[in-house]
Structure 1
Amino acid sequence: MSKRTKSHHPRPSMFRARTAVVAAGIGASAVLGAGVSVAADDATSAALPGVAAVNSIQEQVAAQVKAVEKAKQAEAKKAADARRAAAAKAASWVDPVNNYTLSASFGLGGSMWSHKHSGQDFAVPIGTQVEAVHSGTVVKAGPNGAGDGPAYGNAVVIKHSDGTFSQYAHLSQVDVHVGQNVTTGQRVALSGNTGNSSGPHLHFEIRTTPNYGSAVDPVAFLRSEGVRV
């Protein structure tokens, strides 16, 4: 009885051992198989054309963003340059007309004037553009010399920031109104032959007040401001 019992005990132990080994092997295979599958999936994803397409789109977006930033910087520089140019122009003085011939000068005496000539005449055809010699505010504009008398015909007077005034007379057309701000070189009128005039020209004055009787030599003044008259 004791021999039979002894001879049957090892069999269940060996069976259990074999079962454990087989189970462990199956588990290891399952784990290794999953790892191989995951690795294969990663490699496949990297090789897909869609991934390359996404990368290409990202590169294009980056390039477009860079181009937009560059365009913004160029636009900002252009605006800054324009502001500087406008500021320089506002600070400068210019001739009241282009392509002219100087005729009657300041202080000239004669039968044409009740007193000595109060300005400088620029001989130009009727309809020539008359420009503000400097930025400022229109303080007089209209017929009858804009209040200075019929001898001036149609006229405009502009006050400038330095306290001087420029006057434009014998105009065929006035293009500004009292209170209007004008910039250097802006058209304010067209030249003509109105008032006490012997022919088409622009009568131009620089004054210390807005009124007749306060004129100074306009050519000397413009030259002192760097204008080659």
Structure 2
Amino acid sequence: MSKRVTSRHSHTSRIRTRAAVLAVGLGASVVLGAGVAGAADTLSSGKAVTVANAVQAQAAAQAKAATAAKTAAVAKAAEGAPQAAAKGAAGWVDPVKKYTLSAGFNQAGAMWQSTHSGQDFAVASGTEVVAAHGGTVVKAGGNGAGDGPAYGNAIVVKHANGTYSQYAHLSRIDVKIGQVVATGQHIALSGNTGNSSGPHLHFEIRTTPNYGSAIDPVAFLRGKGVTV
């Protein structure tokens, strides 16, 4: 009689213990999500699984997912790298497209007080003018943006390498002083304002923002890899 009671008591205790462990496992599954959902299956096979085991399993799953995501991101960046390198290879661009070079740097003539201070790009009025290189607009407006009425409407952009680019005889100015522009960004439309014999863009490379510091812009651009 005593032996039978002990056996029944032992059997009941095992059932309660298994139920308690199962409850803990199921609770962990609800709290921790799909990463611990396998806890119930493990319990049904008779193996004891603790909340600590479940947390470790979830952490391992998250780490694996994070590694996979990082690998995918690196692969995607590598695919775009050649395109980015090609785009920024020159760093400088022509200020206008489909042009004809007309009056050149240091050219003498009655049109200028001494010699020509820049390079003229013959284009129709209204042609898009872009920043030859990224920088900050330091001058913009009529009267040559402060350099005199001969330039008409003009813009000067300061670049990080200590040089400045100037765009003159514009029909419209689409940037403001202090604005940061990127290489190739639209800044204006070409025109025929100021002392001009016909529609074109007057372009200068300067060592300061002001008139009198110009250097040969074509030689400069070619030195930067631009075909002019």
Superposition TM-score tier, normalisation by shorter sequence: 0.5 to 0.7
What CA deviation, in whole Å up to 9, does each residue of 1:155-214 have, x standing for no partner?
Answer: 011222333221100111112223333333332222222122233221100112222222
1:36 matched residue in structure 2: 11
Give the partner amino acid of 2:225: G
* Cα deviation code 1:46-66 (max 9, x no counterpart): 999x96xx5983367956886
- Residues of 2 paired with 1:159 and 1:90: CA distance? 20
Q: What is the 5 A alignment of 1:63-82?
A: 67=65, 71=69
Q: Which amino acid aligns with 1:222?
A: L
Are the equivalent residues in 2 in contact too, given 1:153–1:194 (CA < 8 A)? yes
Q: CA deviation at 1:76?
A: 8.8
Q: Counterpart of 1:140?
A: 139
Structure 2 counterparts to residues 27-176 of structure 1, below 5 A: 27-39=2-14, 54=29, 57-58=34-35, 67=65, 71=69, 89=88, 92-176=91-175
CA RMSD of aligned residues (A): 4.0
Shift of 1:100: 2.6
Q: Deviations over 1:88-122 (max 9, x none)?
A: 95992222123333222212233433432211112
Q: Distance in 2 between matches of 1:31 and 1:196?
A: 115
Alignment gaps of 5+ in structure 2 = 38-56
Q: TM-score, normalized by length of structure 1?
A: 0.67
In the other structure, the counterpart of 2:183 is 184
TM superposition shift of 1:219: 0.5
Q: Is the 8 A contact 1:90 1:184 kept in 2?
A: no
Cross-structure match for 1:196: 195
Structure 1 residues 78, 189: CA separation in 2 closer, same or farther (over 3 Å shift)? Answer: farther
Quick check: 1:90–1:134 contact (8 Å CA) kept in 2?
Answer: no
Taking a change above 3 Å as real, the CA distance of residues 69 and 96 of structure 1, as seen in their structure-2 partners, is same
Q: TM-score, normalised by structure 2?
A: 0.67
Amino acid at match of 1:190: L
Q: Do the aligned partners of residues 91 and 33 (structure 1) sit closer, same or farther apart at CA in structure 2, a change above 3 Å counting?
A: farther
What is the count of residue pairs matched by the alignment?
199
Give the distance between the partners of 2:109 and 2:222, measured in 1 at CA: 26
